[in-house]
Structure 1
Amino acid sequence: MADLRFDVAVLDVRLPDGSGIELCREIRSSHPEVRCLMLSSFAEDEALVDAA
């Protein structure tokens, strides 16, 4: 992803092979200007608190 250019990453909190929160952290470590928009289909998701 180091050579990709984007402004916003739209991620689900729960991904099939990992955490969207962790992926957002990885993206932001190499692209601090990128904003992450986190989505979840679960009304009460503990992970959303971690994302804040």
Structure 2
Amino acid sequence: MLRDAAWRKRLSAADRRGLTALFWSHLNLYGRFELDMNRHLELDGVALSPPG
């Protein structure tokens, strides 16, 4: 559909914005990480501030 010139002319800016998720959905912008629920983080000496 996007390769067809007739459809490209029919799409508005709002239509194109709605399609951008299709083009970015394959990216992992935050990186990948392994979560090991059997291991604990070493937080000794780390000061945790109260929320707010």
The verdict on a shared fold, with TM-score over 0.5 as the criterion, is no
Give the number of the structure whose alpha-carbon radius of gyration is greater: 2
Could you tell me the TM-score, scaled by structure 1's length?
0.23
The structure, 1 or 2, with the larger RCO (C-alpha pairs under 8 Å, 6+ apart) is 1
Which structure: greater strand fraction?
1
